[in-house]
Chain A
Amino acid sequence: MTHGVATGHAPPQSFLRRYVFSVDHKVIGRQYLDLALVAVVTGMVLSWIMRFHLGWPETPVPGLGKLAPTGAAGGVITPEYYLALMTMHGTIMVFFVLTTAPFAGFGNFLLPIHVGAADMAFPRINMTSFWMTLLAFLVLVTAFFVGDGPPLSGWTAYAPLSAVGKDAGPGQGVGQTLWAVSIAIFCVAQLLGSLNFIATTLDLRTRGMSLARLPFATWAWFITSVIGLIAFAVLMPACILLILDRVAGTSFFIPAGLVISDRLQPHAGGSPLLWQHLFWFFGHPEVYIAILPGFGIVSQILPVFARKPLLGPRVFIVCLIAIAFLSYTVWGHHMFLSGMNPLSATLFSVPTLVITIPATIICLLWIGTLYGARLRFTAATLFALGFVSVFVSGGISGFFLAQPSTDIYLHGTYFVVAHFHFVMGVAAMFGIFAGTYFWFPKMFGRMMNETLGKWHFWLTFIGVYCVFMPMHYLGLAGNVRRYSAFTDDYLQPLIPLHRFITIAALFTGAVQLIFLFNLIRSRFRGPPAPANPWEATTLEWSTSSPPPHDNFGGRQPVVTHGPNEFGGAGQRDYVMQAEPQ
């Protein structure tokens, strides 16, 4: 049995220490979530501009001409500016939303409470981690306002495009350097965050909180932080090498004899594939950094509202560990088109198919948990169920992309856009929404409006299927991705479908205003939340809503039960983790 001791720090008195430079994990968690909210709005507006241009390539976007006089003179965006918007959309969403919210945001707020600690293991490092993440975000968005604007090499920043400098196009000067610096800072922030998550889970568990009794979400955050520790430790040196290629004249990624914009580049011998290997060694595990917290959140929420224990809790944990391990063996499936040896392609294809086995088992555990359950339909339940739906929809298209023979045709098309938006983007977003509706009462001491929450779910659910399902068809029809307009003959018949997707995307985005309204209104006007509004079992529901500064009011909970004890026949159908024996 492991027992932990809180790293005590007195409640701060000054406004700055309390709300800005706070070392309290709960404040830091909310700061991460606020940052993710700003980032997701930014990223979504960028996607709206792109979608509008795809549907109506020659119609000016109102007001855009003033914001980007070179990239969108008169409001009509250039192909280069389209790529810049795409790069910033992808980077902001992957790093500052999908990593920041479900992992750093919810994890920070809840993990220490889940294990029964008063705070993270290293609170100051935790605060540093957040402020570095914010700095990284600010450095990135600065790219909109300097030189020729943001970079255009995509969120993957493939070399040599990302490495040679301003000759490669607008935004490839200062903008691309800012991108690399931003991501390097982000890596350090995430490494510090992961360090805290792991040390807290290992060393600060309260009495009785064995590993087997850890809540599922905390298991997921713990495993995600192990993945993050390895992944960001590789991306950071890769970014340093990229920065050196750009500013110091080295040739890590730039080959000899490269002529760009009629200029022979003063580099020799570098390997563009080296960047791809380093990037995707990080990049594929990053997919799991985005989605595994969602797995944890859903696994924590479903039993609460099904009033049944999660089926196969240990199998779930084993599957999470298997996914974490396999996530480091599959990165080459992003590179089937790079001209790699067909044998290598097969070697990467096999684990890619194998990793679907634990993912499928987890989906079956969720569905098995629902079997025979008398579900309580809340907004959190709906988003958790929606998570399963979109994850399965996106996962199935993964089978086609895992195999080189089909991927070679599909990789450059909208089929891939549909796949990763469903399986990583929308699924993770649904996890974030489910987590928000579930834990909002704990975070702010007020309930969210359930009716608005349900409207939000159904309209979003329909909206995202309308946006991303048709993209599979576009991809199969040969619609290449990353193009800013489809005016070629064979693509013209697809424009009406693009318009439909654009309208669906604008609609789905507008629906999020319901969520924003609910979020802001409930924060101030929502009915007061009791300590345990959902009749859940884990430790955060044993303390007040919101929890006091040291989480448990100067006392340390003693854990006597697992997190999964639902469906009992007594007066109450659940047993809390800190229930007396």
Chain B
Amino acid sequence: MSIAILRPTTGNGEPRSAVAQTGVWIGIATISMSFAALTSALVVRQSSAPDWQHFQLPPLLYVNTLVLLVSSVTLESSRRRQAVATLRATLVLGLLFIAGQVLAWRQLGAQGLFLATGPSSAFFYVFTVLHAAHLLGGMGGLVYVQRRLVAGLLSVATFKAAALYWHFMAVLWLYLLTLLTIRG
């Protein structure tokens, strides 16, 4: 058997850089597929019965959108400079986005629009809750990144992978907002 000495790993238990990014790309493909399936479900459900009631999206959603986009910018800035402060700002903005979404759900609830009220509100809640759940997962990743960064153990590529996921969350949200504005 031909052999070579095992090349060292990153040494601190982290997966190899390219692997983390590959993993995130695969995750992005999976999440995209899930939301594509839900989109097709929305289109089919909308045409299956005349009970679709369009409703005005809470304007707060646009503020939340802005918050999420700014969080992407702060994260990118943090990644390029390896800065902890802007990373913390990203986490705060992420929390703010989630809080804003909860507030938007409460506003809809106050108008009598709940999950079971009708198909349009049902899809609204399904899309936004699932997006928020994925975003919370991303925040977990960012907390991990922050801890490694503070400890000086973070690889550039791991940060890149985490940022990739976070930016995807913003892109996904823009898509969902557009979809819900047009079809919701």
User: Across the two chains, which residue of chain A brings its CB closest to B35?
Assistant: A237
Decide if A301 is an interface residue (CB 8 Å cutoff).
no
Q: Looking across the interface, which residue of chain A has its beta carbon closest to that of B50?
A: A269
Q: Which of B20-39 contact A (CB under 8 A)?
A: 22-23, 26-27, 29-31, 33-35, 37-38
B48-A269 in contact (CB<8A): yes
A334 vs B130: C-alpha distance when bound (angstroms): 30
Q: Interface segment, B2-10, B60-68, B88-96?
A: B2-10
Give chain B nearest CB distance to A184 CB in angstroms.
12
Asked if residues B37 and A278 are in contact (CB atoms below 8 Å), the reply is yes
* Given A269-B49, A558-B2, A576-B1, A244:B22 Cβ within 8 A: no
* Given A199-B22, A269-B48, A122:B115 Cβ within 8 A: no
| Interchain CB contact under 8 A, A241 and B16 | no
User: Quick check: is A203 within 8 A (CB to CB) of the other chain?
Assistant: yes
From B2, B23, B30, contact of A233 by CB (8 A): B30
Q: List chain A residues, Cβ under 8 A from B23.
A: 121-122, 195, 199
Which B residues lie within 8 Å of A542 (CB)? 1
13 CB < 8 A contacts A-B: A5-B8, A6-B9, A7-B15, A8-B6, A118-B6, A195-B27, A202-B22, A233-B30, A237-B34, A552-B6, A555-B4, A558-B2, A576-B1
Interface residue A191 (Cβ < 8 Å from any Cβ of B): yes
For the complex, is A97 an interface residue (Cβ under 8 Å from B)?
no
Residues from chain A with Cβ under 8 Å of B171 in the complex: none
Q: Is there contact, CB below 8 Å, between B26 and A229?
A: yes
Q: Does A236 contact B (CB under 8 A)?
A: yes
* Residues A240 and B48 in contact, CB atoms below 8 Å apart: no
A residues apposed to B, CB below 8 Å: 3-9, 118, 121-122, 191, 194-195, 198-199, 202-204, 207, 229-230, 233-234, 236-238, 240-241, 244, 248-252, 255-256, 268-271, 273-274, 277-278, 281, 542, 550, 552, 554-558, 560, 576, 578-581
Residues of B within 8 A of A578 (CB): 1-3
Determine if B110 is an interface residue (Cβ-Cβ < 8 Å).
Answer: no
CB contacts (< 8 Å) of B33 on chain A: these are: 229-230, 233-234
B122 at interface (Cβ–Cβ under 8 A)? yes
A interface majority secondary structure: loop
The reply to whether A122 and B15 contact each other, CB–CB distance below 8 Å, is: yes
B152 contacts the other chain (CB 8 A): no
Q: Which of B15, B48, B115 contacts A271 (CB 8 A)?
A: B48
- Which chain B residue has the least Cβ–Cβ distance from A225? B26
The answer to whether A556 and B37 touch (CB under 8 A), given A248-B116, A269-B51, A277-B44, is no
In the complex, A118 Cα to B52 Cα: how many Å?
Answer: 54
Q: How far is the CA of A262 from the CA of B13 in the complex (A)?
A: 61
Chain B residues whose CB sits within 8 angstroms of the CB of A195 once the complex forms: 23, 26-27, 30
Neighbouring B residues of A5 by C-beta, 8 Å: 6-9, 16
